[in-house]
Copies of this chain bind each other. A is one copy, B any other.
């Protein structure tokens, strides 16, 4: 039964918006209805280059898109420092909000955005794609399996890429007035999310930044790491960087099992994605080899992860729009926890690597 798809407007023509435009086209319950840029030519070119339908509207200002009554939801790929203003306005205009990450510069800004969404009855979700990949669900089943994985003990998450000199000079992610959280906000967001994901979104008790973060002249983080510690003894570490080779690993170790993958944010291939598990392996008698090897699991994909994200978001919006449902709280709650931990890492760096207690 064909449904009327959720109509998306995109505010800003960032590179990531190309990928999300395609995702909106691919998602069965979403459609590209408008794009806005401060330059109407740029918006028109973006629409043309990204397969917008002919009837899609082109706006030369963000406000005019937000005033369009034929838009249900806004995708916001603007620099983080602009999120507060435009996310709040999006909510006030009663548009549902799919925003790029990091959601805000800090949890106080986050809460202002969340409050605006709640007061206006709109759905909020951040643009972390990998959690919507069907592989992520399969991996979670393993982590939740008391016999195959047991109780989580430790997680390590790495996300780094080696930025070229142009990026390190000109990208918005190294500019204090645009994406002031730098590598922590960009790459670290994924690491923190992956750790919280593995820990069933239980917040850690303390967060300690690792020594040796690298900041640029403007004070923006280019490279940092942290350790997280939970009440029950679980620990996690992560490293995020613009200064080292492209790497995206999760290793999660439980009492009985280990989960491992090396492409968690962007799967190597779109059509299928793999991960490795082991459960209670052991050694042969002389300890010269293993008796059971880790096994690789491959998940085939009908929709790319970003289209799964759009489909999930549009489904929640549809439920509000058609059935009068309340906005779902799961995704904003997960986002907020990510932002809380991110704030704590930054605070720990500023406090000379002292542990920072997480207060929810």
Chain A residues packing against B (C-beta within 8 Å)? 16, 18-19, 22, 150, 153-154, 156, 158, 160, 162, 206, 208, 210-212, 214, 223, 225, 227, 229-230, 233-235, 237, 239, 241, 243-247, 249, 251, 253-258, 260, 262-263, 266-270, 276, 278-283, 286-290, 293-294, 304, 306, 353, 355
Per the bound structure, the CA–CA distance linking A235 and B241 in Å amounts to 12
Per the bound structure, the CA–CA distance linking A109 and B222 in Å amounts to 42
Per the bound structure, the CA–CA distance linking A247 and B293 in Å amounts to 11
Known: A253-B160, A268-B290. A150 touches B245 (CB 8 A): yes
Whether B270 lies near A289 (C-beta < 8 A) is yes
Minimum CB distance partner of A156 in chain B: B156
- B contact residues around A276 at 8 Å (CB): 262
Per the bound structure, the CA–CA distance linking A268 and B280 in Å amounts to 14
Complex partner residue of A290 from B16, B266, B286, B293, CB under 8 angstroms: B266
A-B contacts, 21 of them at CB < 8 A, read A19-B286, A19-B287, A153-B241, A154-B160, A156-B156, A210-B227, A210-B237, A227-B227, A244-B253, A244-B254, A245-B254, A245-B281, A247-B253, A262-B294, A266-B283, A266-B287, A268-B289, A268-B290, A269-B290, A288-B306, A353-B355
Whether A156 lies near B239 (C-beta < 8 A) is yes
- B contact residues around A230 at 8 Å (CB): 212
